[in-house]
Amino acid sequence: MPNYYNEQTKFYVSVDCAIFGYSDGILKLLIHKRPYDPGKGDWSLIGGFVEKDESIDDAAKRVLTEFTGLDKVYMRQLGAFGEVNRDPGERVISITYFALIDVAKYKKGKAQHTAEWVDMNLLPELIFDHDRMVSQSLKKIQSLIWEEPIAANLLPKLFTLTQLQRVYEVVLGKELDKRNYRRNVQEQGFLVKTNKIDKKTSKRGAALFQVNPLLAIENS
């Protein structure tokens, strides 16, 4: 066979990103109104097509940067979605990623008029199989949150333990015992106490922590 590849079918391949954020004590998802048919105007995850000379991971990073202005963001692949008719417009195979970002750093990029942070508890129905992508992403984040220092990606660089506790609580969907949580999270060794004090959220002031810079997870 002279060139085996040539006989094969090619496919559009997209990346869809479930971008999670946190503000006001609420877990949010960045979604936007799809600007073209099919499904024009329907809510959709942030996505885009993989381009010729970029890896799928790079495509996901590029899309995320285009839509949020951020790079070096914590992002992981969830998996591939490849039902024949998942996109009724054309056959498109989607590789799904999830990301955790600090909403405060978010800058409107592409889709600036139609992108919104939506309360995860009030999520509208999403297009195609995007609902499944979101629920599977959240499950994976829940299973990773005690394994890797990912929760802090939803907060500014410096944060108090109480702020981080709220993040754990909204991600896991349940309240945590303050003392047990503090013991657990500190035993992990992800966090280092800075000598700075946050005076905004309490009169007494709370110690500000950051993720151990040696662990800088982010991408990769």
Partner DNA sequence: CCAAAAGTGTTATGGATACACCCATGA
Partner DNA sequence: TCATGGGTGTATCCATAACACTTTTGG
Q: Which residues bind DNA (CB under 7 A)?
A: 160-162, 177-180, 182-184, 199, 201-207
Of 51-70, binders to a second copy (CB under 8 A) are 51-57, 59
- Nearest CA to 68 out of 97, 110, 16, 35 is that of 110
- Of residues 59 and 208, the one with the C-beta less far from a second copy: 59
What H or E segment, with its residue span, contains residue 199?
none
Nearest distance in Å: CB 54, a second copy: 7
Nearest distance in Å: CB 164, DNA: 10
Nearest distance in Å: CB 16, a second copy: 12
Asked if 92 touches a second copy (CB under 8 A), the answer is yes
Phi-psi domain of 188 (left: phi exceeds 0; alpha: psi -120 through 50; beta: other):
alpha
Nearest distance in Å: CB 168, DNA: 12
- Nearest CA to 72 out of 111, 112, 108, 101 is that of 101
Binding residue for a second copy (CB under 8 A) from 26, 70, 93, 123? 93
Nearest distance in Å: CB 11, a second copy: 5
DSSP string, 159-173: EEHHHHHHHHHHHHT
Read off the tokens for 38.
């099919």
Asked if 82 touches a second copy (CB under 8 A), the answer is yes
Cα of 95 vs its chain's centroid, Å: 14
7-46 footprint of a second copy as x/- string (CB under 8 A): -xxxxxx----------------------x----------
- Of residues 139 and 183, the one with the C-beta less far from DNA: 183
Residues 6+ apart with CB under 8 A from 166: 25
177 touches, from DNA, a second copy, none (C-beta below 5 to 8 Å by class): DNA
- Nearest CA to 189 out of 209, 216, 212, 165 is that of 212
